[in-house]
Amino acid sequence: MIRIALILVLGLMVSCHTPKKVVEEQPKVETPQKTDYSNEGYYLGEVQMLDCGFVIQVFSGETKHKYTPTNLDPKFQVDKLRLKLKFKALDQNATTCSEFQTIEIKEAFAVR
């Protein structure tokens, strides 16, 4: 009899426990953004060849932003080439890859 009462009490305690709500994370979507980068430091980037032309994917912390350079030197127009660069974000969108913001490269050199 005590066993049955103990099972009932434990069953009630377990069944009355409300489960925690599961929070679903929204998937991160890469959207074109206008970002003001400082002209003081260098940024790590990777040249990518897309159907519309060359773009540079810039890594800033854990975020990635793609830009269309107006003055990418032909020697850097190699797919998957990693660059360390300084650039200035311009206010207009590019004509070839119009979904990305245009940048003007101030300095750039290839890195491994």
pLDDT at 6: 73
70-88 pLDDT, tens per residue? 999 999 999 999 999 999 9
19-43 pLDDT, tens per residue? 555 556 555 544 444 455 555 688 9
What would the CATH number be for the domain defined by 27-111?
2.40.50
The residue count of the chain comes to: 112
Q: Which residues contact 37 (CB under 8 A, 6 or more apart)?
A: 43, 58, 60, 87, 88, 89
For residues 29 and 101, which has the higher predicted lDDT (pLDDT)?
A: 101
Type of residue at 23: V
pLDDT at 33: 47
pLDDT at 94: 65
Out of 8-12, 18-22, 31-35, 89-93, which region has the weakest mean confidence (pLDDT)? 31-35
